[in-house]
Amino acid sequence: MSIGRSLFSRIFSSHAVTVLLFAALSLVLSLGAIKTYFLNQEAAELKNSAFIIITNIEPAFLNKNFKAVESIIKRIGRKTRIRITIISTDGKVIADSEKGKNLIKNHSDKPEIISALKGKTGREVRFSMFLNKKLFYVAVPIKKHNRVVGVLRVSHPLKPIKFLIDDFEVQIVQITLIALSLSLLLSFIFSKNIAFDLKNLANGAKKVASGKFDTQIITKNRGEIKILADSFNNMADQIKKLFGEVSSQKDELTTIIGTIADAIVVLKDDKIEIVNSSFLKLTGHNNVIGRSYWELAGDKNINEAIEKILSDKERKYTELKIGEKIYNYATAVLPDKKIMIILHDITSIRNLEQVKNDFVANVSHELRTPLAAIKGFTETLKDEERNADKLHYLEIIEKHTDRLTNIVADLLILSQIEDKTASISTESVDIKEGLNNIVKLFRDKASKKGISIETKVDNDLTIVNLDSYKFDQLMINLIDNAVKYTNKGRIVISMTRETDGIKIIVEDTGIGIPKHETERVFERFYRVDRSRSKTAEGTGLGLSIVKHIILLFGGTIALKSSPGRGTKFILKLPEID
């Protein structure tokens, strides 16, 4: 069944049912009202006749001259063709205009008589077995001093009234049928027009849904359908405009993504949905849309790389090697559970870093020999020189030689730690004893500044598996940093064992670090401000060495500090098996 016919059937059937119900209800109510109206009219006429008859018979009735009463009512009955009956209060018939009173039984049980004896006008439609026809009865009370002393009942055959009512009912039925036919015809035309317009709207919606945005609905209606059609046309225009904008933006976005040097891939349920040319170049395929990433296995092992990225829930790794190249990656969760992966080629950066590290290492090695010579000759000259001014100059040379020697040593340590081939060697270490030995190196320097150094080590932290050399470097640099930048107060070093390793806290009461500087303190040669470099000696590499040792151990380091309130370093080191 077509949409138009289905709509027409539903609309017309609902209208037809409504019209039929309304017509039936109107017919029933009209016929009932007509019947009631004519009966009320007949009752009123009979009641008026009854009161006139009471006026004529009242003197004779009150004097109990019932023969005279009977004579009067028979005369009136012949003239008016109304049957008149006089009834006593006990229900006996005193006189009747058509039959002898002795032939009529007691009327005390008749509804209209009961009402009249109560002082009210009674009425009843009933078949009379005595006269063998249906009569309309009206009974009124005869009163004396407001007391009912009898009842006068008048009756009239119902047949003439019924003929009149039937005639009116026929006319009402004819009028109703004519009105019903016109209503159904109008409903048919109205339903047909509505169904036609709605069919056009439905077909128009289908066309728009299929991409035909030029679709327009034309209707001859001038009501809500016209408003709906105009709204639909406006909607189609807006959709066309928006679709054009979206298509333009999509093309622009596709062009931008395609020109990005980074490899981009969007996955949903392991299926590839979006890629750019850089990703295709990386995989060596021309078309990968709709394929699973694990189908891309090849020399570049791209599938293994993506598997590693997807399993890296905590973002522990941000670099991976694919073939001969190194990539830094980032992931993002998109709507509808899609995952975007961006691979940035950092091979040249890592190669440059390696060149830099090799250069630093080579230069540092080359500087150690001349610096050692300068140091040795300076000490020799100091032993032989007696001139105070010359000794002062020699001490300055010695001081800066020592500083250069320390920088070279730190650079060598840093280059060794940053070397990708660097590894850690494990051995059983008494960590508490090791910490105490390191603290002894700074006791004199700290006491000269009025600083106390306290250690708190858990009792169960005795023998642990660590790279003792790198651990010593780590703690020496942290404690040295704390002593340099603390002018008063104390330094507290605590070590506790946790389920996932060892927690170390180095806390001082020093000058502190501004919040905006905390992220850069682990950079090489970085100083928070120039005043630090003037008041405290150092290479500026200590915290950088600390960070790289922590990374080598696979641990974490956090920093909490505020100016004037000190600094707290929080380290977590996994214990090596």
Q: What is the mean pLDDT of each run of 10 residues along the chain (577 residues)?
A: 57 69 69 72 83 85 85 85 86 81 74 87 76 78 87 79 60 72 71 68 72 72 68 76 80 78 81 81 78 64 70 64 78 79 81 72 72 78 78 79 72 65 71 86 87 87 78 86 87 87 89 80 65 53 80 84 87 76
The answer to whether residues 453 and 504 belong to one domain is yes
Q: Token pair for residue 289?
A: 């849309």
Distance CA 312, CA 410 (A): 34
The answer to whether residues 449 and 386 belong to one domain is no
Considering only CA atoms, which of 138, 110, 133 is closest in space to residue 43?
138
Decide: 571 and 504 in contact? Cβ < 8 Å.
yes
Domain span at residue 86 reads: 3-164
**Chain centroid to CA 503: how far?**
43
The answer to whether residues 459 and 549 belong to one domain is yes
State which H helix or E strand residue 475 sits in.
helix 468-484
The answer to whether residues 439 and 402 belong to one domain is no
CATH number of the domain at 407, please: 1.10.287.130
pTM higher than 0.75: no
Based on the structure, what is the number of domains in the chain?
A: 4
- Name the phi and psi angles at 423, rounded to 5: -140, 170
Whether residue 215 lies inside any domain: the answer is no
End position of a domain, from candidates 418, 439, 466: 418
The answer to whether residues 458 and 337 belong to one domain is no
The answer to whether residues 402 and 453 belong to one domain is no
CATH number of the domain at 67, please: 3.30.450.20
Task: Give DSSP secondary structure letters for 10-48.
Answer: HHHHHHHHHHHHHHHHHHHHHHHHHHHHHHHHHHHHHHH
The answer to whether residues 391 and 283 belong to one domain is no
Considering only CA atoms, which of 373, 400, 395 is closest in space to residue 385?
395
Centre a 10 Å sphere on the Cβ of residue 428 and count the other Cβ atoms it contains: 11
Whether residue 244 lies inside any domain: the answer is no
Whether residue 461 lies inside any domain: the answer is yes
Instruction: Please report where in the chains the tokens 């009249």 appear, as a residue.
Output: 116
**Chain centroid to CA 417: how far?**
50
Whether residue 66 lies inside any domain: the answer is yes
The answer to whether residues 54 and 139 belong to one domain is yes
Distance CA 510, CA 562 (A): 10
Report the half-sphere exposure of 321 (CA within 13 A, side-chain side): 4
End position of a domain, from candidates 131, 164, 197: 164
Positive or negative CA dihedral for 41, 45, 46, 50? Answer: positive
CB under 8 Å to 175, separation ≥6 — which residues? Answer: none
3-state secondary structure of 191: helix
266-269 own/partner pairs: CB under 8 Å, 24+ apart: 266/334, 266/338, 266/339, 266/340, 266/341, 267/293, 267/306, 267/310, 267/338, 267/339, 267/340, 267/341, 268/336, 268/337, 268/338, 268/339, 269/337
Task: Give the CA angle between residues 480, 483, 487 to the nearest 5°.
Answer: 160
Whether residue 240 lies inside any domain: the answer is no
In angstroms, what CA-CA distances link 237 with 113, 225, 314? 83, 18, 48
The confidence score (pLDDT) of residue 539 equals 61
The answer to whether residues 365 and 471 belong to one domain is no
Considering only CA atoms, which of 179, 163, 186, 188 is closest in space to residue 27?
179
Distance CA 33, CA 46 (A): 20
Decide: 205 and 236 in contact? Cβ < 8 Å.
no
Task: Give DSSP secondary structure letters for 481-522.
Answer: HHHHT--SEEEEEEEEEETTEEEEEEEE-SS---GGGGGGTT
Q: Token pair for residue 124?
A: 């009843």
CATH number of the domain at 447, please: 3.30.565.10
The answer to whether residues 363 and 401 belong to one domain is yes
Decide: 77 and 98 in contact? Cβ < 8 Å.
yes
Whether residue 403 lies inside any domain: the answer is yes
End position of a domain, from candidates 164, 198, 229: 164
The answer to whether residues 269 and 385 belong to one domain is no
Distance CA 34, CA 45 (A): 17
Positive or negative CA dihedral for 46, 137, 123, 68? Answer: positive
Q: Helices 542-553 and 468-484 meet at what angle, rounded to 10?
A: 150
Whether residue 385 lies inside any domain: the answer is yes
In angstroms, what CA-CA distances link 346 with 151, 258, 327, 329, 351? 124, 19, 5, 10, 9
The answer to whether residues 507 and 535 belong to one domain is yes
Amino acid found at 115: S
Whether residue 463 lies inside any domain: the answer is yes
